[in-house]
Amino acid sequence: MEKVIIVESPSKSHTIGEILKSFPDSYTVLSSKGHVSDLATTGKDGLGIDIANNFRPSYVIMPEKKKLVDDLKKACKGKMVYLATDPDREGEAIAYHLASILGLSFDENNRIEFNEITKDGVNQGIATPHKIDMKMVHSQETRRMIDRILGFKLSNLMRKKLQSRSAGRVQSVALLLICNLEKEILSFIPITYYMMEADFGTFKLTLQEINGKKINDNNRILDRKILEDLKASLKAFKVSNIQTKTVSRSSYPTFTTSTMEQTASNRLGFPAAKTMSIAQKLYEGKKIGDEVVGLITYMRTDSTRLATSFVQQVKDFIVKKYGPKYVGAGTKIKNQKGMQDGHEGIRPTSILRTPESVKAYLSDEEYKLYNLIYNRTLASLMSNASFSQTKIDFENTNSLWSTTGRVMLFDGFLKIEEKEEDDKNSLIPEFVIGEEYNPFDVQILEKMTQPKSRYTEASIIKDMEELGIGRPSTYAQTIDTLKKSNYIKIEKKSIIPTEQGVITTDKLQEYFKDLINVKYTANMELDLDKIASGEMDELEELNEFYNHFIPLYDNAKNNMDSLYPIETDEICPNCGNKLVIRLGRFGEFTACSNYPSCKYIKQEEKEDSNKSVDTGILCPICKSHNLFKRVASRGKNKGNIFYSCEDFRKCKATYNDMPTNELCPNCNSMMLKDKDGNLYCSNNCLNKDDEIKEENVLCPVCNKGTLIKRTASRGKNKGNVFFGCSNFPKCKTIISIEDYNKLLNK
């Protein structure tokens, strides 16, 4: 009987087809080009899931795949069909849908897996067929249905209320991490502290202790005078202790998906999505000389395990090329919570296929990534590097100082891996205990504590993996979705949340914090793993999720305020309806409220940079830059003057009236001057001439908070004064000035 093998990728089918030409049996290799079926968009809420009937899914063939499916049916009729989709849950689900469509038996051993696209890998896969793993299918199906329910409903809600593009189980938690870090950075208050160095020309000493107290991050010197007094009392520096020891550094384990994406980002500057795209090509196969072969193993994995046969091949290679002393102890396996260990770590399919030998057949980017993978794998099985490290302590006037030198004794794995800063030799003179030295100079160094660094693609992937958010196949896709949704932007590799990203996160946390959080998302991943291993029933997980989610969703649907559109006083020149401010991909724009019947959009003129004028007044928020006078270039306030921080991308200080150098006598905040010359507090204290007295008036609704004077910051009432409850957001009471005066007079 003729045999057919179906894989996902056309390039993968080509590589396997070339390999199978040397096999005795005749095979036809076809491609499904990924998924052929998906959940329908019919039924209640367009979910394609009959929730009342035990979450029964309704699958349909994707419209763009109908012809391909017909071709597969014709090609497979009367033949023995093997399903060789990717060796993971997603691949198992694709195999399941293909089997359903092609009428294949689920009781036959018609599922094969290729961990590597080489002759040995293909031969091993064909020799060990098995049944489709329905537990893995149920796990993927559960994930898909939860993502469909949560994604569809939350995304629709966010679009209606905030005009945000999407929300999701994993992406919204990743965005939460980014926004929380940004808020922490913006609220960071730097602290000035002091250090001391003594320069001797050939070496430098750093102050370590003073009066018996160690100087470290928990015990910084904040008073400069302490060091000034010490400096004035210093004498000759006397060597008090010499400590030399041998230290070693071991190589990193072979790559997982996460560590490959991180390292490619840091060393090659590749975004995660680009790294995965290149790795896919290296896995599926390249034409190398006269053969077509996969260069790396499957690139979606959370394991660092390596096949025993491959480890031995590498050890033989190391002995032959570098000598026996460069052979390491063995595979470094890094265990991590939630690790599936379904596949080996990412490695070259043959250690004999060196980067130099295949460079001519690869693009520049393919070569760089392959070289990275090859060297990391080889280094992971090489011996440790060793160093002689010497620390010299000096005493001087109740203080302890030190310097450190480091010399490499044996390079080990560093013979091929990129050296880090600490791996370089740092030479110091030879010293004798009791010797005294006089410095050329002693300096007091002024330092400032620094906020945490913003996320990069590498660091957010690292945190997602460590926290158990998502899986190897989702990291790159998650970041890409956040970019496309205009929730984040990348500047000099740093991830910065956009205003829309922050607004979306804040609203999701207001209404869905019990669901959109690290713990819940990580636990769900563990539950999906349990479904895949047969330890948990998928219906139990679906019911638990749904019963948790729907009450939160209904509450948000009924109570969440809509952010856009914002009404203006302008009239549409085409139809006479009011113009409104909407939010688009590139920010706010003014358009007709009668859309889509009227598609008028007001043409905004570009902001003239010459209209920005330095006021010379220090920003009271960041206290690092001055406030600038600017002219609004869009929206209902277009043409109006406002004042904002010079560093407006980071500092959001904005004022409609003129800042002054005067301070409020009540709260010491900056005073503003309105167009009539009246002064008032920027912190919403009372105007100097305001007759309204702000007293401890009890909120008439909750009877817990007190009424506080506020100024509307957005919408058609922006700039208007009102009184709100101090118990906000639990109590959302709003009182006008008139009603506030009535309460005072009672």
Q: Which residues are catalytic?
A: 298
Tally of CB atoms within 10 A around 701: 14
**DSSP type of residue 597:** T
Distance between CA atoms of residues 627 and 618, nearest Å: 6
Backbone angles phi, psi at 29, to 5 degrees: -110, 120
Q: Could you tell me the two tokens for 40?
A: 């329908």
Distance between CA atoms of residues 331 and 328, nearest Å: 8
Instruction: Report in angstroms the alpha-carbon separations of 341 from 189, 257, 303, 305, 471.
Output: 43, 12, 5, 8, 12
Residues 6+ positions from 466 with CB-CB distance below 8 Å = 336
Q: Which residues pair with 672 in a beta bridge?
A: 659, 680
User: CB–CB of 280/404 below 8 Å?
Assistant: no
Distance between CA atoms of residues 91 and 94, nearest Å: 5
262-272 per-residue burial string, b: 16 or more CB within 10 A, e: under 16: bbbbeeeebbb
Separation of CA 624 from chain center: 28
Long-range contacts of 424-429 (CB under 8 A, 24+ apart): 428/202, 428/203, 428/390, 428/392, 428/403, 428/404, 429/202, 429/203
Instruction: Report in angstroms the alpha-carbon separations of 667 from 662, 696, 721.
Output: 12, 16, 18
The alpha-helical segments, DSSP class H, found in 659-718 are none
686-698 per-residue burial string, b: 16 or more CB within 10 A, e: under 16: ebeeeeeebeebe
Residues 6+ positions from 676 with CB-CB distance below 8 Å = none
Burial of 145 (0-12, 13-18, 19+ CB in 10 A): buried
- Sign of the four-CA dihedral 262, 267, 272, 274: negative
Separation of CA 170 from chain center: 11
User: CB–CB of 236/437 below 8 Å?
Assistant: yes
Backbone angles phi, psi at 489, to 5 degrees: -135, 155
**DSSP type of residue 587:** E
**DSSP type of residue 268:** I
